[in-house]
Structures are given as C-alpha cells and as structure tokens.
Structure 1
C-alpha cells in the first residue's frame, strides 16, 4: 500500500470524524479500500472519496472485544469508587461501538481516580508499531500500588512546578497551568502488549493532557538488573555505572515520564471563524528567530496527525533529553532522591554514560539498507548522542579499541568536568529547538533537524559491526497467571524463569482449544491472503 493511498483514506476519516487509532486499512485493489474498525457491533458503510471506494467495516476483532466487555461487566461489581465505575462503563461503550470519544471519556475518569490501590488501563494506546504512527496496538495492564516507592514519586510531583521553571524555553511555551498528575510506583501483575515499559505517561490524547491532566506510573518490577558489565565496551567507568545503576534508572524514568512527556504547550487555533487561539498570537515570540508565531495546530489537528511517523521518536527523544538535562541540576536530586544528594555528580556522570552506551548499543536496531531506525526510543537516544558528539572531542570521544584476547570493543571517553558546562548547555539549546518546533507545529524544521541527527556515519557503521557481533538474544518476558478457584478466590501462579516456564505460562492461560478464536484466526489469515 502506498503512502498516498493511506493518506487519502485518513483524509476521508478526518472528514467523517473517525479517529484512526483503533482502525486498520485493507487494500482490496487500487480503487477499493476497507477500514476495519475494532468494535463488538458489526456493520458496513460504503463511501467514495477522490474516486476511491472506502468501506467502513465495524466489528474488527468483535469476538475478542465481546469477551472483554463481558469481563468488564463483571468488574463493575468490584469498583472502589464512582470514577472507577464510570471508567469501566465508558470502556464497555467504547469497545461495543468503537467510538474513540467513549475511550477518551474513560481516560477522563481514570485520571480523576487518584491514588487507587489497584491500577489498570486498557485499550488501543500506543502507536509505535504503525509506520505512520497514528494507529495503535491493543494493550492493557493491571497492577498493585507500591506505597513506599510511591511516597517518593508523590513528593516529586509536589516539586514539579519548580522544575518546570528550569526548562530552557520561555514561559509562554509551557502549559497555562500545571495539572498535578497522580504518579505512583506499581508492581505489575499482568501486562498484555508487545513490550513492557519501565514507565508510562498516559492518556496520549492531546486535548486531555493539555487541559485536564494525565497520570504517570513507574513499573518498578519490570526493570531488569544492570549489575553486569556491558561486553561491548572497554573501560568506560563500568564501576560507576554498576554502582549507581538503580539511581540512574529511577531518575531517568521519573523525569522522562512526568516532566519529559508532561511538559510543554501546543499552540492551537481554537476557532477558525472567530480566529481565537490558546496563546497570545500578537505578542508571543519565537525565541529561535525573534519573530511572531506563524505556524500552529488547527482545530482538528493532533500532535500525531501533524508529525505522523516522526511523532514517537521525536517525543521519546525530547523526554529522554529532559531527563538527562535535569541530571545536571543538584536540586533535581533533592526533589527525587535526597538520600543520594551527596553523590549526585557521580549519578549525573552515570546518567550520561548510560545514555551514550544505550545510543551505541541501539545501532543493532538500525537498518543499513533502508537507513531507518526500528524503534522510537532508540532513535531518540541516538539523536541525543549526536548532539553530545557535536560539542567536540574535548567533551566526548567514541572509538574502537581492543579488549582482552584482542577482541574488538568500543571505547567511550567522557570529560566529566565539562558535563555541567558544555554538556548542559548543548542539551539546553537542543531542548529549546525541540519544544519550539513541537509547540508551533513546525514539522518541516523538526524533521530536517531530527533526520540529520538520525544519520549514521561510516565510522559508526563500523562500530555497529562490533555491536552486532556481541549482540545478545532479546529478553524474553515471563508473567505469572491469575485465576479463580472453585470458591471464586483469586489464585496467583508463578512459573520457573526458563523457556519451559514460558510454555507452561501459556498453557495455564489458554488451557483449552478455543474454536471461536481458531475460526477467527483462520478467517483473518484467509482475509489477509486475499
């Protein structure tokens, strides 16, 4: 399917006010396309747009979603308050009809449910896997709040406004009001998605995030240990990275989620007829050129619809850059990890080394033939690495070296004495550009800058060969299983951390042959073939 064909379908969806988030596009032939919309209810409507037939087919994954709504109906018996009850009812409406507005309402109820003991969210959420990054994958999680760890995150939220004043952009580019979110540390019980993140900042709906608020969650029991030395690298202060590994991860995740994803304002034309804006268009100045603001989001625009396939890597880069930037401030550690305040400069250096090493190791996800990055977070870290390299060799050097037994490795030389001067200033200037381009919907400038930094030089292609040679197998995820016994009590089953344990976990989760699901699988397989 060609990009222009997808754009034509999405243009039509915008006209008929259908959000693409929970849809798929099937190309029947050059003049006929089907939009499969996930819902329990099933019907088909035929339309024509730019001489192309477009069928809106409701009922994609209907058997799955029917079972989801049945279980959600049962969950209504266990809600702790009215917000949870409203949330579940909106979920049911959304999955039955496919209407994204109902899911947005569920998220409005969710962000108002402050400090629950059990935390959960479900739906079509993240769009990382979509080439255009406007269609989301299905996911859901359930977790129990870790009260002791959450005390730290709650204290950080109280001081977040002080951090916002330290951002490198003018006040006009920050939200009119900081809506203090609920920020909890969770022990995840179940997570159904293509991967488990260390932290989550949702909902992703721009209007809710900017005007009503959001939630942050830190998934502590999903973070793997970083105690072992990285085999790719020669001596790069491995000891400091191992010593402060836990503190680095905690700092990165918390600042990435709360301030990284939670900061900054989008400039909108709210009403075209009255020419009203959500910013002072006459007096707001672009700090990059000293001129008035000339680009902004239109009424129906969203961050993802304007920046499309750039939106996720750009946003993850911005959030990671915010976390690294705040590691350069002593105050940031007093807000989040005061018990390590005397060691903050060591943690600061470890933060830089960790991001640099992750940027280099991420080369394994770079497609040399397509010249593309395969993962948004990794693309973002590579871009930050290029910003740091731009400072000069007196700050950072990366080169090949020889390890034991004459094996090739990678050497990182970081001048820690320049981190709080040259390093901090480079991040400040880069963050300013990122925020201005995002606030003003300046896709052209953003893509030009980001794509330039995303390039991989011949030197780093050779370093990539070393990374590929030492590539480790991808982590395999194992989860426990919840079930109800004969007395309707919840039983948690744990499995051995092995491949056998993973097989057993799937057998426990799906113990019987499911004819309905098998028939659905065969239907979609044949459907996609045709």
Structure 2
C-alpha cells in the first residue's frame, strides 16, 4: 500500500480490556436486572443512529462485518474456520479481525478519539477473499458497495470529520451544505426557538433546506418556512424512524421495572421524545433524571454530546446503564458535602457563580452497557443550561473505565525516575481529577436575558474583572453556550473543567476526602500535574497541521493547559530531548516544588478568563483566548513528529451483554474474552439490525466453514484449506477430505470410547 495509506492504518496491536461489571450486576435484584436489561437494549438499538451521524457512508461496513461473522440465525461463526476457508495468511486474517473490532469499538471507520479515518492493514484482495469465504451473499454485495469507503484515503481532507465545505466528512449535513448555510439556519432556529440537538440538515439542488428531526413516528406535520435569503426550509419529524421505534419499545418494556414514580416519569418522557421528536419531552426526561437521586441502576440516553458536530449544536446518540459502587460513592459524597466551600475558592467573585449551588449528585458507577464510540472516564450531564442553572447536574465517575488496564501499557515521555510513581498513582490521581473536573462542570453562572427582557444580573453593579468595565454582552433569548461559542464550545468547557480540577486539587482537604494525606497526597498532586503535562504533549497526535484542525475536544483542552504551564516560566515545566531505543524522544521535567507557587496560580489566572468570557457570552474574546492557547506553531512540528512516532494504541473496551432467558424469565450476563474476536462476538450477540432478514450463505461455503469448525471441536485438528473455485490444478477437495478423516480416524475412535 502507499505511504499515504499506511498513515491511516488501523492499530496493529490494540489492547482489549473487558469492562468488568459482573460483581456489581450480581448484587441487583431480579427487578433491577430487568430494568438494566431493557435500558441497555434501548441504548444499543441506537447503534445505527450513531454510526450514521458520524459518517453517512459507514453503515454498510457495519452490516458487512456482522454478515461476515454470523450465520443466517445471527449467531457467531468459528473465526478459525473462516480463516482457513479464506486461504489468506494468518497475519492478514488477524488484520481483518483488528479492523472489524476497531470499527465496532469506534462505531465508525473514523476514530472516536481523534475524528480521523482508519483503514485495514490487509490488502483489498485479501479482504475480499475473506468476505467471499464467508459465503454470505449479502456480505459480498455490501463489500462491493463499501469497498471504496473502506480503503480510500483520498482526497486527504475527507479523512477528517468536520465541515463539508472544507472537504471533511459529517453525517449531520449533506455534502453541499456550506458554513454560511449552517449559520443561516442556526439564526432561524434561535428565532423560532427550535433546539437543533436531535436534528440534521440537508439541502436540495434548488438550494432549499430540510431539517430532519429524530422521531419514530410522524406525529407532527411537516412545516415549511421562508429563510432570510429567500430559500425555504422544511421541518420534518422523520429521521432515524426505524431504530427509534426499537428504542422506544425497549424503554416501554422497562417501565414496569422502574424503581419509583420519578423513574417511571423519566421513562415515559423518554418514550415520548423518541416517539415524536419532542425536545420539551427530552428536557422533562432530564429533569426527572436529576430528581432521581442515587438509584441502584443509573441510566441516561438520547442525543447528548455535541463534540462531533463541527458547528457544536447537534448531538450524537449515546446511552449508558451502570450500577452504583457504594464504597467509592461515599468518597464523592464527601466531596459534594463540601461543594459550597470548594466552589467558593474558584477565582471569580460571587456574582459570577450561581445564586444557589444545588447539591450535585455525585456517584461512582460501574458501567454495564455504554452505547457510544468512546467510553469516557466521567460524565457531567445534562448539557441543558435551562436545567442545570436551576437544578444542578449529576456528576458520574466511571470506576471500571478508570481502573481498566491494558497489558504491556507503555508511557512515553515519563522520566525513568518518575515511572514507578507514575504507574502507581496514575489511576488514583485521575480519580481525584475526574471528581473535581465533573464538579467543575456544574459551576459558573451564565448571564442571560429572558423573553420579557429581564436580566438575571444587575447590569449597573456587576463589573467584568477582565475589562474592569460593566457587563456589555450576555445570552439573548434562544441562545445558549453552544450556539454562541459554536465549534469550540465543547473543548472550551472541557478546558474550564480541567482547570478547575487543577486549581482545587492542591488543597489538602480535597485530597483528604479521597483518603490521601501527607507524602502520598503530595505524590497524587504531582502525578496529576505530570499527567496533565503528558496529556498536553501527546495531544499533538490529535492535531492535523495540514487542516490546522483539532480532532478531539479533551486533548485540545489539555494542550491549552500544557501551554499555560509552559508559559508560567520559572522552569516549572520543560520538555528536554533524549534518546529512547535509538530514536529521538522527549522527557517531561515538572518541578513538583512549584505546583502551588507557579503552576496552580497560572492555571487559575487562565481559568478566570475562560469563566468570565463564558458567563458573559463574549464569544469574540473567548474564541480569541482559546485559539491562541491551542495554536500549534510550526516550530512544534518536530515535536509532533516525535509524539506521532511514540503514540500508543487506545484501549478498546469489550462489553458484556444481558440476555433474557425465555425459559425462566431471568436475566443473565454474558461476558466475552478481551480480544478482537470477543469484541465482534459482543456486537454480534446484540443483534442490532436494520429490520431486514439475515443473510444467506451459499451451501458450499457454509459446508466448508461448518466442517472446519466441527473438525476443530471434535478432532482437535483443522479441516484442510478449501476454495470453492476448484480448478484442475488444485488438489481434489474430496481426496483431501478423505485423507484428513483417515488421519483423524484413530483419535475420533479414541475420543468416542471415553
């Protein structure tokens, strides 16, 4: 393959980790298990939505993978038998497994962490051989349909997610929608009070628009409006109808197992919003969710995060189900108990904080199911300021995600003298960081004006601490943080929360909440800052210098903070050149004695500006601040090259499935091995289909795969290689088979007699 193609190869040895949930799942009552099962089902029924939102050309690849690896009943076939039947090398087949598993893990052929395309390492010819060996007519047709999408890396701009006008890929907009079109429609939506969270935007050849709203049923009629430029826009409640019907049904099935009336109301609101596309119903679901404090089974579902919409206003599908880790939650509850004290330490005056700091719900969860392209370590939701400014938010730390370890994990750029301490305290320090980070998301007031012209602040007395002048900008009716700060909003807010974590964590009483005192507390703090510096450095992997575009919100945020720490001076943070295994590398030198005197004050000063610009809807100065902080100058190209050459593959989480046993009406948990095959089997068992019947296999291929699998199971030997395209030059298949059976006859008799 070309050098360009190699740049986009899927990871060669991706580390797979089992998302361990069984010990916590087994503590649930039968009723709670039913609730968890149906809500997990609802989350995963949205898989096809998520894939289509990311890349409109990726669903055939998803269907192709499942059709290759499953029989006509939808059950997983023997991968060893498929490998043998395909006649490709073991290496090529492993590369096929890796691509398939990584596609399923990312829910796309674009990385969930980086938004960059990846392609198989094996050749198109070997890929095709494996597809044909599966004997699935549907898989063969799907390969022909998606072959170019799987392997193409040109034009290069198409290898990134982003605005279509810039040549990038997006499932939220048709390819002919321009940036000006998006702004035009956004202004219309704000005027008409239409929330774009669950929408996509398409344009026809005549220049007219269609805003499709996700809904299982067309309960609301289409409406046509005239836009300011003379074009028309049609609002249609017809997007993702088939998967949302299944989502709604699963939620309906969960209602009898709700733990209380609040949960029941939440589920009924979910059912309504996914059935008819009503955003007010979704807001209701989140209000009830906030009121359902400390449930045994926690779940949230819907169009939640806006990271991957280049405009930052449309959200992708996700849903999770998790069980409470009560021991860890007690730590977070102590953090919550002292939240007013800790928030008062943030570097802004009371006028810029919410009048009432609602007691946030902070829980440590063990994930059972998470339908998403990339599982986070923590969550702070809902992302609805109309609710969070009044009711607060829920903060969630995902314990089994944080604690998951990959085999043979390496940590480039950490000095040898820091390595043991880093390995020992990386996860514990990250737990503290996640806790204070998620707490930070729930802080800060937004200055706004309601529809009656009333301001929620005193315009005469409040002074902007950055400009030393009166407040001049605020959120107008129909506007919110995402609509004002657009594409940088998600990363900007992640940066603000990370800065809050670094600003609060030096306080000894916060570290004590997590049971760290004395020297151990100091080590935790040091590793937290060291880890942030390393994250900022490795973030360069997610920056594309050609497009001058960041591909991951959190990593862009961490790069900004790394820059702040570098610019703090006084030798607080330095990157020094070194050699590792004969290659150029870098070592991070961070002076732990200056964290409280140099590092934390610099971060707090930057945090103040982030908060003030956000609070006052000052997207002009806020955008300038953030773009300056995340600018990657050309002199950093050599550093980026070192980072790229040292990059490590990201962990891939293999999730269990819940199974409803039809015989005893009980829920069972089925786990899978942490491997590429285990990942594929996990998704095959979910049986998230497009409503069409399963594929058929031609009889010869089905026989070959079946015999090969049977022989391995019964005889401990593999059936001979087989091609359905038998020619005169090939050895006769029948003779090979007979010879094989004669060789195995003794073992077969011996096994039968025991």
Aligned counterpart in structure 1 of residue 574 of structure 2, from 392, 397, 408: 397
Q: Which residue of 2 aligns with 1:186?
A: 365
Taking a change above 3 Å as real, the CA distance of residues 342 and 416 of structure 1, as seen in their structure-2 partners, is: closer
Find out whether 1:12 has 2:12 as its counterpart: no
Q: Does 1:347 align with 2:524?
A: yes
For the residue of structure 1 that corresponds to 2:386, the secondary structure is helix
CA–CA distance in 2 between the matches of 1:283 and 1:98?
Answer: 42
SS class of match (1:308): helix
| Structure 1 partner of 2:163 | none
* Contact 2:575–2:587 (Cα < 8 Å) also in 1: yes
1:454 to 630, 636, 652: 630
In structure 2, what is the Cα distance between the partners aligned to 1:229 and 1:56?
A: 50
Partners of 1:476 and 1:52 in 2: CA distance: 45
2:413–2:534 Cα contact (<8 Å) kept: no
Indicate if the aligned counterparts of 1:233 and 1:409 stay in contact, CA closer than 8 A.
Answer: no
Match of 2:269 among 90, 93, 104: 90
Render the CA deviation track for 1:30-87: whole Å, top value 9, x for unaligned. Answer: 5211111100122533322121121212121111111111111111101111100110
Secondary structure at the counterpart of residue 447 of structure 2: coil
Alignment match, 2:681: 504
Is the contact made by 2:369 and 2:655 (CA closer than 8 Å) also made in structure 1? Answer: yes
Deviates more, 1:471-480 or 1:286-295: 471-480
For 1:525, the equivalent position in structure 2 comes to none
Match of 2:613 in 1: 437
Which of 468, 471, 485 is 1:293 aligned to?
471
Aligned to 2:335, the other structure's residue is in SS state: helix
Distance 1:77 1:243 in 2: 45
Q: Distance in 2 between matches of 1:470 and 1:264?
A: 38
Verify: 1:372 aligned to 2:549, yes or no. Answer: yes
Distance 1:61 1:517 in 2: 21
Structure 2 counterpart SS, 1:29: coil
Deviation at 1:234, TM superposition (A): 4.4
The residue aligned with 2:279 is 100
Superimposed CA distance per residue, residues 471-509 of structure 1 (whole angstroms, 9 cap, x where no aligned partner): 223332211111100222101100011111111112211
What's the RMSD between the two structures over aligned residues? 1.8
2:540 paired with 1:363? yes
The 2-side partners of 1:516 and 1:393 are apart by: 66
| Distance in 2 separating the partners of 1:412 and 1:29 | 54
| Cα separation, 1, equivalents of 2:430 and 2:635 | 29
Q: How many Å separate the matches in 1 of 2:312 and 2:593?
A: 40
Tell me if the contact between 1:229 and 1:238 (Cα under 8 Å) persists in the aligned partners.
no
* Pair 394,242 (structure 1): closer, same or farther in 2 beyond 3 Å: same
Cα distance change, pair 513–308 in 1 and its aligned pair in 2 (3 A): closer
User: What is the CA–CA distance in structure 1 between the aligned matches of 2:575 and 2:457, rounded to whole Å?
Assistant: 43
Q: Partner of 2:249 in structure 1?
A: 70
Equivalent residue, structure 2, for 1:263:
443
Mapped to 2, the partners of 1:33 and 1:313 lie a distance apart of 29
Once the two structures are superposed, residues 147-179 of structure 1 have per-residue CA deviations (whole angstroms, 9 ceiling, x without a partner) of 111111111100111101111111111110110
Deviation of 1:408 after TM superposition, in Å, equals 1.4
1:83-232 mapped onto 2 (5 Å cutoff) = 83-223=262-402, 224-225=404-405, 228-232=409-413
- The answer as to whether partners of 2:193 and 2:478 remain within 8 angstroms in 1 is no
* Structure 2 alignment gaps of length 5 or more: 1-176, 696-754
Corresponding residue of 2:114: none
Equivalent residue number for residue 498 of structure 2: 320
Deviations 1:313-365 (A, max 9, x none): 1000010111111222212212x313445422221111111001011111111
Pairs aligned (count): 513
Query: Secondary structure, in 3 states, of the residue corresponding to 2:222?
Result: strand
Distance verdict in 2 for CA 1:511–1:357, change over 3 Å:
closer
Residues 122-167 of structure 1 deviation map (CA, whole Å, 9 limit, x = unaligned):
1100010100010000110111111111111111100111101111
For 2:564 and 2:606, the matched residues in 1 are separated by 8
Residue 338 of structure 2 aligns to a residue whose secondary structure is helix
Q: Once the 2 structures are TM-superposed, how far is the Cα of residue 270 of structure 1 from its aligned partner? A: 2.5
Residue 282 of structure 1, CA deviation? 1.0
Cα distance in 2 between the residues matched to 1:511 and 1:230: 37
For residues 249-260 of structure 1, the aligned pairs below 5 Å read: 249-258=430-439, 260=440
CA distance in 1, matches of 2:454, 2:511: 41
Contact 2:381 2:395 survives alignment (8 Å): yes
CA distance in 2 between counterparts of 1:57 and 1:277 reads: 34
User: What is the Cα deviation at residue 17 of structure 1?
Assistant: 2.5
**Greater CA deviation, 23-32 or 506-515?**
506-515
Displacement after TM superposition at 1:231 (Å)? 3.0
Runs of 4+ in 1 over 4 A off after TM superposition: 226-229
| Structure possessing the higher radius of gyration over alpha carbons | 2
Match of 1:481 among 648, 657, 662: 657
Point out the more displaced range, 484-493 or 14-23: 14-23
Per the alignment, in what secondary structure is the counterpart of residue 114 of structure 1?
Answer: coil
Taking CA–CA contacts closer than 8 Å with sequence separation of 6 or more, which of the two structures ends up with the larger relative contact order? 2
Query: Is 2:595 the counterpart of 1:419?
Result: yes
> Are 2:489 and 1:311 equivalent residues in the alignment?
yes
Q: What is the alpha-carbon distance in structure 1 between the residues aligned to residue 259 and residue 481 of structure 2?
A: 34
| Local SS of the residue matching 2:585 | strand
Q: Distance in 2 between matches of 1:11 and 1:79?
A: 40
